Structure 1
Amino acid sequence: MWSRVLGPGVVGRTALCWRSLYTMQLKTGEFQSLFTDGLNGLVEIFGKHKHELRIAGGAVRDLLSGKRPEDVDFATTATPEEMKLMFQMAGIRMINNKGEKHGTITARLHNENFEVTTLRVDVETDGRHAEVEFTTDWLKDAERRDLTINSMFLGLDGTLYDYFKGYEDLQNRKVRFVGSAEQRIQEDYLRILRYFRFYGRVALEPGDHEPETLTAIRENGHGLAAISGERIWVELKKMVVGNHAAHLLELMYRLKLAQYIGLPPGGDVEVMKQVWQNAKDHSPKPMTVLAALFHCPKEVDKMDFRLKVSREEKNLALFLVKHRRELCKSRDEPHSSKPFTDFIIDSRELDSQAKVCELLKYQGEEKLLAELSRWSIPRFPVSGHDLRRMGVVSGKEIGATLQNLRDIWKTSRYQMDKEELLSYVKP
């Protein structure tokens, strides 16, 4: 047993040669900030009934990275039935217990929801789902998780429990599967995409992959064909707006994954890399980056059929594919926003300004993007009622006159007021 100072918030560490368990004490401000009245109450209930309770998964990774996690999941040695009895005895309300068959109970304390899951082992897997069995062995639960950086537990006293060198990998910015990459992938093929997503979150360099990991991905990529599009899209859209997204998308093409996840097999990777470079510092939508891969609207339709993206996401992809060449800067005024503002004014869609901003990110037009982001859409000051008061009564004539006045108004850069515009009307 030995200890040393590791840096701010870390008191010391102890290496135990038991099942390769590695522990240390965490005393950071981010960790301490989790202890609300609700969490303190939860800890008290589990302690009273002598059941272990620890923070699990991604929240541990975030805390070790100096971040306060947005969501905190808990793991316990208590079974779902034992948890329900404990909470009932304490008068604690339980909600949304659809996950009970998988061992998850959600309790509500002091207006906070706490999701607690019984330790599990996978009895049988088919590449998409797993049949689980409850256990009290923390190592066995850690063994069934995907990546080393997601397989750690954190006791509520600040003790880290790390069986697979997850903390070391996190410090070294490495993303590795727990044990055999091939075995972990074959248990759930979606883990291929989770690997890429977490690589973008953790790794410093774009090409620091272990060769055996990439081999396992290449040889098992076909398994993604059986994964639902909704699950794939959840992972893919997070990866596309993370770090190294262009590299990871290019790598997915090299590993022959595109055909299984709704991306066009002949996607234009070089254009995508340029679009990513253009947009990466401006918080692009996932579809803004992916649109560069599509050559035509039919490929967008095929992607939507596979991934079941939202209508808004699909419409953005179609907009970008259609207008990335048609809607360009004016040749007479190369730095003018006029073609874009005119398009927004003429559009009948409520989100046209947001779509045009995504197009400017796609094209790398930083100055125009800044201008359009600040721009407030002006209101056309003339209505059909104004024309009727001037004696224009034909519906067809009103429509033509309004369009003519709108063109004049756009030429003035939307500066003319109602009186000035109506002076062009000849009753």
Structure 2
Amino acid sequence: MWSRILGPSVIGRTSISWRNLFTMRLKTSDFQSLFSDGLNGLAEVFEKNQHELRIAGGAVRDLLSGKRPEDVDFATTATPEEMKDMFQSAGIRMINNKGEKHGTITARIHNENFEVTTLRVDVQTDGRHAEVEFTTDWQKDAERRDLTINSMFLGLDGTLYDYFKGYEDLQNSKVRFVGSAEQRIQEDYLRILRYFRFYGRVALTPDDHDPETLTAIRKNGRGLAAISGERIWGELKKMVVGSHAGDLLELMYSLELAQYIGLPTDGDVDEMKRVWQNAKDHSPKPMTILAALFHCPEEVEKMDIRLKVSREEKNLAQFLVKNRRELCKSEEERDSLKPFTDFIIDSRELDSQSKVCELLKYQGEHKLLSELCQWSIPRFPVSGNDLRKMGVTSGKEIGATLQKLRDIWKKSHYQMDKDELLTYLKP
């Protein structure tokens, strides 16, 4: 089995010079843990048919960073047609053929899905999509990838194949484009946002950018206008909850990118940095950070038109913009959770508690946030049927009476029971 090749050591390394290739041997427990029955079965099929199979991209980066990757993608010298023949001969089911024209075949082995993509070179790009041709040259495939830290391959024997000093950059916490930053960006303008997202994951300080990279980003920022909102939001929402997010968003504004990605051109950057600092250690939702940029609900609407965020995300942004000033504690309620729990009781919406938690993160109210996370919404003990039994029959009167009792109940800190509340209706 492939996993038995590996020894107990962490990393053993050697380097050889061949077309700038750097190699070393990875033998970590995280790497070994990938070798399920499914992966061993996949490896045997490719070995039998004499086609090379390697782990590619982000999974390699994660393993070298000491993390077990959540998703593992594979690259191969076999063409899609060759893979289909191999899998059919081995009785392996293939699913989701949408990626086939781009060279990706998905095989299902031992109840696991494995995406395997043929090595490719870009023939033509338009800043959004690429026309590709298949190749057997691993370096040419690495050349077409965005960042050096995402351009490495890992053989199933643990051998790292690194053509563009990705491992060195990872060790030095550097984020660089493969080759020319401008060329990589012009191939796919979304790579501008991917640069910032991975900078937040890898860099140790907020200002360790290559000046030439920033120049290329500023020069090509308008290319983001042609990228779909869904793709932009997919990158942006990961970036804003990463490290250095406040500084990175400020930098993006200084590079004049906001107008192309659905953010207000005069966004309140100082407020956003303050909110990020308040919330960053408390797992804020992406929209909690971005909401600080908006001055009014109309700007949220414009953002939604461009980015097509989910209804839940849009509603959260509107809630925060509206209530970040209105829903505040009075002087006498400085350390009280009650204004917030009263709001939740009155709103009667299923996600109101979640929204208020995000508001407390926004406001930096960490003590109250902890209390609210442990608080359960109490049930109001009086119903319309209770009032009807007491002779209140008008629907309008029932509604008004219930609200009156609800206000009394809130003042009791939700402690009064049904009998106590109903005494307020007796003559």
TM-score (norm 1): 0.97
Cα distance in 2 for residues equivalent to 1:323 and 1:130 = 44
Aligned CA distance change for structure 1 residues 188 and 295 (closer, same or farther; 3 Å): same
* Contact preservation (8 Å) 1:330, 1:336: no
* Contact preservation (8 Å) 1:330, 1:338: no
Cα distance, 1:331 vs. partner?
Answer: 2.2
- Which amino acid in the other structure matches residue 227 of structure 2? I
In the alignment, what sits opposite 1:22?
22
Cα distance, 1:393 vs. partner?
Answer: 1.4
In the alignment, what sits opposite 1:50?
50
Cα distance in 1 for residues equivalent to 2:394 and 2:127 = 67
**1:206-231 C-alpha deviation (Å, 9 max, x unpaired):** 10000000000000001000000000
Cα distance in 2 for residues equivalent to 1:54 and 1:44 = 13
Structure 1 residue 83 corresponds to structure 2 residue 83 = yes
Structure 1 residue 356 corresponds to structure 2 residue 356 = yes
Cα distance in 2 for residues equivalent to 1:297 and 1:371 = 29
Cα distance in 1 for residues equivalent to 2:293 and 2:252 = 13
- Which amino acid in the other structure matches residue 163 of structure 1? Y
Aligned CA distance change for structure 1 residues 309 and 9 (closer, same or farther; 3 Å): farther
Cα distance in 2 for residues equivalent to 1:416 and 1:118 = 68
Structure 1 residue 133 corresponds to structure 2 residue 124 = no
In the alignment, what sits opposite 1:268?
268
In the alignment, what sits opposite 2:68?
68
In the alignment, what sits opposite 2:117?
117
Cα distance, 1:11 vs. partner?
Answer: 4.1
Give the match's secondary structure for 1:231. helix
In the alignment, what sits opposite 1:105?
105
In the alignment, what sits opposite 2:418?
418
Cα distance, 1:79 vs. partner?
Answer: 0.2
Query: Unpaired runs of 5+ in structure 1?
Result: 1-7
In the alignment, what sits opposite 1:5?
none
* Contact preservation (8 Å) 2:11, 2:28: no
- Which amino acid in the other structure matches residue 289 of structure 1? I
In the alignment, what sits opposite 1:235?
235
Give the match's secondary structure for 1:424. helix
* Aligned ranges 1:199-210 → 2 under 5 Å: 199-210=199-210
Give the match's secondary structure for 1:20. coil
Give the match's secondary structure for 2:333. coil
Cα distance in 2 for residues equivalent to 1:397 and 1:141 = 73
- Which amino acid in the other structure matches residue 49 of structure 1? N
Cα distance in 2 for residues equivalent to 1:25 and 1:382 = 69
Cα distance, 1:155 vs. partner?
Answer: 0.1
In the alignment, what sits opposite 1:326?
326
Give the match's secondary structure for 1:124. strand
Cα distance in 2 for residues equivalent to 1:283 and 1:12 = 36
Give the match's secondary structure for 2:345. helix
Cα distance in 2 for residues equivalent to 1:12 and 1:405 = 72
Cα distance in 2 for residues equivalent to 1:119 and 1:270 = 45
In the alignment, what sits opposite 2:291?
291
Cα distance in 2 for residues equivalent to 1:39 and 1:73 = 11
In the alignment, what sits opposite 1:314?
314
TM-score (norm 2): 0.97
Which sits farther off after the overlay, 13-22 or 50-59? 13-22
Percent identity between the two aligned chains: 85
Aligned CA distance change for structure 1 residues 304 and 9 (closer, same or farther; 3 Å): farther
In the alignment, what sits opposite 1:144?
144
Cα distance in 2 for residues equivalent to 1:327 and 1:211 = 43
Cα distance in 2 for residues equivalent to 1:298 and 1:399 = 33
Cα distance, 1:282 vs. partner?
Answer: 0.4
* Contact preservation (8 Å) 2:357, 2:369: yes
Cα distance in 2 for residues equivalent to 1:395 and 1:141 = 71
Give the match's secondary structure for 1:107. strand
**1:349-374 C-alpha deviation (Å, 9 max, x unpaired):** 21000000000000000011011111
Cα distance in 2 for residues equivalent to 1:397 and 1:155 = 75
Aligned CA distance change for structure 1 residues 391 and 311 (closer, same or farther; 3 Å): same
Give the match's secondary structure for 2:331. coil
Give the match's secondary structure for 2:62. helix
**1:71-103 C-alpha deviation (Å, 9 max, x unpaired):** 000000000000000000000000011000000
Give the match's secondary structure for 1:23. strand
**1:136-188 C-alpha deviation (Å, 9 max, x unpaired):** 00000000000000000000000000000000000000000000000000000
* Contact preservation (8 Å) 1:200, 1:243: yes
Cα distance in 1 for residues equivalent to 2:389 and 2:12 = 83
Cα distance, 1:13 vs. partner?
Answer: 1.9
Structure 1 residue 174 corresponds to structure 2 residue 165 = no
Cα distance, 1:9 vs. partner?
Answer: 4.0
- Which amino acid in the other structure matches residue 305 of structure 1? I
Cα distance, 1:10 vs. partner?
Answer: 3.7
Structure 1 vs Structure 2 CA RMSD = 0.8
- Which amino acid in the other structure matches residue 425 of structure 2? V
Cα distance in 1 for residues equivalent to 2:61 and 2:395 = 65
Paired residues, number = 420
**1:106-129 C-alpha deviation (Å, 9 max, x unpaired):** 000000000000000000000000
- Which amino acid in the other structure matches residue 86 of structure 1? M
Give the match's secondary structure for 2:309. coil
- Which amino acid in the other structure matches residue 203 of structure 1? A
**1:226-263 C-alpha deviation (Å, 9 max, x unpaired):** 00000000000000001100010000000000000000
In the alignment, what sits opposite 2:197?
197
Query: Unpaired runs of 5+ in structure 2?
Result: 1-7
Give the match's secondary structure for 2:173. coil
- Which amino acid in the other structure matches residue 191 of structure 2? R
Which segments of structure 1 move beyond 6 Å, counting only runs of 4 or more? none
Cα distance, 1:399 vs. partner?
Answer: 1.1
